[in-house]
Structure 1
Amino acid sequence: MTSTLDPATSVEAPSASGPATYSRLVLPAMAANVFLLSLIQTVVVPALPLIGQQLSVSATTVGWVATATMLTASAVTPLFGRLGDVFGNRRVILVVLALTLVGSVLAAVGDSIAVLLAGRVLQGASFGLFPLAISVLRQELPLARLHHGMSIAATALGFGSGFALVATGVLTNNGGDYHRIFWLTVAASALMLVLSAIALPRRAGRGGRVDYLGALVLGAGLVALLLPVSQGHEWGWTAPTTLALFGLAVVVLLAFGVLQSRTEQPLIALSLLSHRPVLATNLASLFVGYGMFSVFLGATYFVQAPAALAGYGFDASVLRTSIEFMLPGTLLAIPLGPISGHLVGRYGARPVLLSATVLGVASMASLALFHDHSAEFIVALVAGNAAIAVAYAAMPALLVRYVAPHDTGIANSVNSIMRTVGGAIGSAIVITILAASAETVATPIGPVSLPTEGAYTAAFALGAGAFALAALLAALGFRNTEPHEVAAA
């Protein structure tokens, strides 16, 4: 392959089977983009009550600030992955970053819930950055550095989420203006746009057609699925709207499958989804996504509970929650990228995924059983963060092993959607369990509704169960399979 890179910013590849040269900036740029999407996904979660207070809107309304990006992601992520394959990843990444920047500016300058939601819808485009980043790394890095690079980029998911929790705690301490968190995303989006424009070489896509109709149908089906998942605890799980949307999701997604089987160049080849290693990786992503939000949401609420009233918790402020409880796991994610890449390269992605998910089971079980002292809680949180980071570092390597190069973008897009669905289900179930168990406690300033300790134990135990299912998939989902079998399907 002939390189057009500036010699000052490129190095010789150590493997003849990879590109002749590669830019030193490609890996940091792609890891930074993954960090950005994780930052945008998580940064609003601790600030939702504050946003509702400062905009004078209900908790139900402000919940859409988190839901809006998820719905956009479900609609556009597979499309962006396919567009990157067809027209070139650099062009699509720059468009996605521009949309994210515009959305961040809207959210930062607006003073109404309508403008904020419009900004969050545009910010949801950032979820497409993960599959695009993995496609870039597969195309640009030599094989000798590919596992290392993908692991660093994937680990940025966990680091970005942890950083977002810490940053939100600092920026909104003592009732600080919520706009500050969106100015942070403005600065991050602008930086990533400039870095990507400089780092990414201009390469043409492989051509072909884009199945826009398939993308529209898939997006509609995923929105119909995620909307009741994310709002069911407010609407009621047996409410007519909730049940109708679940039914609609089933019909539309089945129609998508029929449409893809009859399309010459489908958005997603059904053989890709049915291939056992790809299916196992996607289901593992869903269960780890569930576990991730069990950790983040459950732990955040637990540590802030007033111990004198609830009989549990650590009376932590938002700032203390961020610094004392969330920061250690966030800092650990920094070296986990290179370590995970080394482990994947030496032992393979499947054993690494299995080890990470077993660690996740232990972490969540510890949170469920041992939560009387802050030190033991912090250790369990650190282990949970490590499990999530390493698990997601292994998954791109599994997909790269079992899908053809031209399917890298769409395969990782589907995996990202599964992570989003898992996170949405995890959030909904944790919130539902806590709300259903809430008991009224009398205080000098009036009654306060608090979840029971048993509700947190149940939520953490379900998180352990999700990690256990992911571990079973890692143990059993890849036996007797050969690399790239799907490419010949």
Structure 2
Amino acid sequence: MSHAQQAVPRRRSGDTTVVLVLGLAAMVVSMMQTLVVPILGIIQNDLKATTANVSWVATATLLSAAVFTPLFGRFGDQHGKKPTLVGVLLVMIAGSVLAATTTSLTWLIVGRVMQGAATAIFPLALSILREEIRPEKLHGAMALVSGTLAFGSGLALVGAGLLTRGSAPDYHRVFWLAVLLAVVALAGVLFIVPASRTKTGGRTDWLGALTLAALLVLFLLPISQGHQWGWTSGRTVGSFAGAVVMAVVWVVAERKVAEPMVDMKMFAHPPVLFTNLAGLMLGFAMFAQFIGVSYLVQMPEHVVGYGFGASVLEASVVYLLPTTLVSLVGAQVGGVLVRRLGARVTLAVGACFGVLGFTWLSAAHDTTASVIGAGMVIGLAISFGYAAMPALIVAGVPAHQTGIANGINSISRSVGSAIASAVITSLLASKTVPLPAGMPALPEESQFTLSFVIAGAAFFLVVVVAVLALKPDRAPVLKAAAETGATKGAEAELAAETV
């Protein structure tokens, strides 16, 4: 049976329930990335760890996600999305239980590695949506599931702050929250999500998986640890050099393997390539807003002359939660725009909102209302981008490559977030306010302004990509064709261009 024949789905009832379950699973994905950000200091104090060692609690998940996301995305395409999704959730639950019960930094990092596998849930969820949801509802469904990513990132910050408030904070509660949500998601997947019906089969490309994993680790490791190692140190420079070498090895290996994990033609296909570039910029801007605003509002105004002296909980609930709520609601609007105007236009409009939001934040971050208002505009931009990118990927690849293509797109956003973390952290540490001896170094206000300007520039690059690099969408063309009775001809033209 051909791929095209295998990809023809039998539409089922209960679309809404399936979408909600997959949205919950995707929310769990994004929570794993930001869950530990507010509690790294608590973990460091409780486990008597150094700053360099405790940073691995965050880095381990990033590296694990980079390794497992493309592997599981491809595995789901080959052997079934639902069983792969169930397996990933089980690994994530086991890792969360380990993190919630251990008092060893080593085992905590192992648990975080297992949690990182959860990132593969997102591309698997989008593959299931493409298989199960009616065409007229697909863009809205993908927008809802994608919107939960931004919502989950903010919810994790809020939840971590609430669960560790008080004079004796216990970080283990945060990981028990992850266990609870993952168990609920697993139950939903087991009982609601239909069994996979499209499987390409074939052998697992272990050589491609290993070389891609080595490439991503060598690239992301110095980005996440460069501020600790030193940006010109031998480890940092050597890792980047090794990443370049492994990139060449990976491309050569994938071009020679009969059934590659990543089809190089698909990887270099302009709609996929430029959507991944946009994903990298979007991931950068989103994380820059989370980190920048969180640090900014916690600055003690009586000491440095700016900031609001907010606690970690106040920073999450008062200043960041509105952004995440707008992202969740905006994802639905984004889905409508994708369906009516096309994903390319939606991405461009969202990126314009991002430029506006960061311009506002750069020029006026001296009042609570201004920081929250600008953050809400940025949240709208993020939700539009998250709604548009899956639609661009799905339109650019055949059905049997949906999982791996969205997996690579997820990695691009993770890489952008890692770069943002490194860039913003380095910027804030590079120029500090003169303070009396014994007080911790605090950044000058100009460094926050520069950080927001750079994030706005990232959104501007997304506008450029959407307007100049991506081709006009065919979705509105198909809609118009349907209204004139020429749907079959338009679909045939679209299919020919896509494959």
Fold shared per TM-score above 0.5: yes
Question: Which of 218, 223, 229 does residue 224 from structure 1 map onto?
Answer: 218
From 151, 174, 178, the equivalent of 2:171 is 178
5+ long unaligned stretches in structure 1: 1-16
The 8 Å contact of residues 342 and 473 in structure 2, kept in 1 or not, is answered as no
Instruction: Provide the residue aligned with 2:10 in structure 1.
Output: 19
**Partner residue of 2:154?**
162
| 2:245 aligned with 1:251 | yes
Q: Helix, strand or coil for the counterpart of 1:449?
A: coil
Matched, 1:61 2:48: no
TM-superposed CA distance for 1:207, in Å, is: 1.4
SS for the counterpart of 1:268 is coil
CA contact (8 A) 1:361 1:465 kept: yes
Answer yes or no: is the 8 Å Cα contact 2:298–2:315 preserved in 1.
yes
Does residue 36 of the first structure (1) align with residue 28 of the second (2)? yes
Partner residue, 1:464? 456
Partner SS state of residue 267, structure 2: helix
**Residue number in structure 2 paired with 1:416:** 410
Find out whether 1:82 has 2:74 as its counterpart.
Answer: yes
CA shift digits 1:358-403 (9 cap, x unpaired): 1111111211111111110110111112211221111000111111
Counterpart among 86, 94, 98 of residue 102 in structure 1: 94
Equivalent position of 1:380 in the other structure: 374
Q: Aligned in 2, Cα 1:143/1:437: closer, same or farther, shift over 3 Å?
A: same
Structure 2 residue 294 is matched with structure 1 residue 303: no
For structure 2, the 5+ residue unaligned runs are 1-7, 475-493
- What's the offset of the Cα at 1:29? 1.2
Q: How far, CA to CA, are the matches of 1:465 and 1:338 in structure 2?
A: 26
Deviates more, 1:54-63 or 1:244-253: 54-63
8 Å contact kept, 1:403–1:486: no
Map Cα deviations across residues 242-265 of structure 1 (whole Å, 9 max, x no partner): 000000011011111011111111
Contact 1:271 1:486 in 2 (8 A): no
Q: For residues 61-103 of structure 1, what are the alpha-carbon distances to aligned partners after superposition, in whole Å with 9 as ceiling and x for unaligned?
A: 1111110001001111111011101100001000000000000
SS, match of residue 441 in structure 2: strand
- Given candidates 161, 177, 189, the residue that maps to 2:182 is 189
Secondary structure in 2 aligned to 1:297? helix
Query: Is the 8 Å Cα contact of residues 350 and 385 (structure 2) preserved in structure 1?
Result: yes
Partner residue in 2 for 1:358: 352
1:196 counterpart letter in structure 2: V
| Matches of 2:63 and 2:327, distance apart in 1 | 27
Residues 11, 133 of structure 2: 8 Å contact kept: no
Paired residues for 1:69-468 under 5 Å: 69-175=61-167, 176-204=169-197, 205-442=199-436, 446-468=438-460
Q: In the alignment, what sits opposite 1:13?
A: none
Q: Separation in 1 of the partners of 2:389 and 2:330?
A: 15
**Superposition TM-score, scaled by structure 1 size:** 0.94
- Shift in Å, 1:484: 5.0
Deviation sequence 1:177-209 (CA, Å, 0-9, x none): 111110100101111111111112122422122
**Counterparts of 1:353 and 1:379, CA distance in 2:** 21
Of the structure 1 ranges 344-353 and 434-443, higher mean CA displacement relative to structure 2 is found in: 434-443
* Cα distance in 2, alignment partners of residues 466 and 449 from structure 1: 28
* Whole-angstrom distance in 2 between the partners of 1:27 and 1:286: 25
Rate the CA distance shift 1:129–1:308 in 2: closer, same or farther, 3 A: same
- Separation in structure 2 between the aligned mates of residue 109 and residue 480 of structure 1, nearest angstrom: 51
The answer to whether the Cα contact below 8 Å between 2:11 and 2:132 also exists between their aligned partners in 1 is: no
What is the alpha-carbon distance in structure 1 between the residues aligned to residue 419 and residue 37 of structure 2?
15
1:434 corresponds to which letter in structure 2?
Answer: L
Cα distance between partner residues in 2 of 1:101 and 1:147: 30
Which consecutive segments of 4 or more residues in structure 1 shift more than 6 A? Answer: none
Partner residue, 2:477? none
- Provide the rounded CA distance (Å) in 2 between the counterparts of 1:337 and 1:291: 17
User: What is the alpha-carbon distance in structure 1 between the residues aligned to residue 346 and residue 374 of structure 2?
Assistant: 19
How many Å apart are 1:487 and its aligned residue? Answer: 4.8
| 434-443 or 451-460, which deviates more | 434-443
After superposition, the C-alpha distances for 1:18-67 in whole angstroms (9 at most, x for unaligned) are 63323342111111111001011111111111211121111111111110
* 1:272-298 deviations in Å (ceiling 9; x for gaps): 111111111000000011101110001
Q: Deviations over 1:284-314 (max 9, x none)?
A: 0000111011100011000000001111101
Name the count of aligned residue pairs.
470
Contact 1:224/1:248 (<8 A) preserved: yes
Q: 2: CA distance between counterparts of 1:484 and 1:66?
A: 41
* Letter in structure 2 aligned against 1:199: I
- Residue type at the aligned position of 1:41: Q
Instruction: Confirm or deny: 8 A CA contact 2:395 2:498 kept in the other structure.
Output: no
| Structure 1 residue identity aligned to 2:409 | N
* Percentage identity across paired residues of the two chains: 41
Does structure 2 conserve the Cα–Cα contact (< 8 Å) formed by 1:402 and 1:484?
no
CA displacement, residues 127-155 of structure 1 (integer Å, 9 cap, x when unaligned): 00110000000001110110010000000
Provide the rounded CA distance (Å) in 2 between the counterparts of 1:474 and 1:210. 34
Q: Is the 8 A contact 1:275 1:486 kept in 2?
A: no
Q: Give the whole-Å Cα distance in 2 for the aligned partners of 1:221 and 1:479.
A: 30
Deviation at 1:339, TM superposition (A): 1.8
Asked whether the 8 Å contact 2:29–2:121 carries over to 1, the reply is yes
Cα distance in 2 between the residues matched to 1:367 and 1:162 = 18
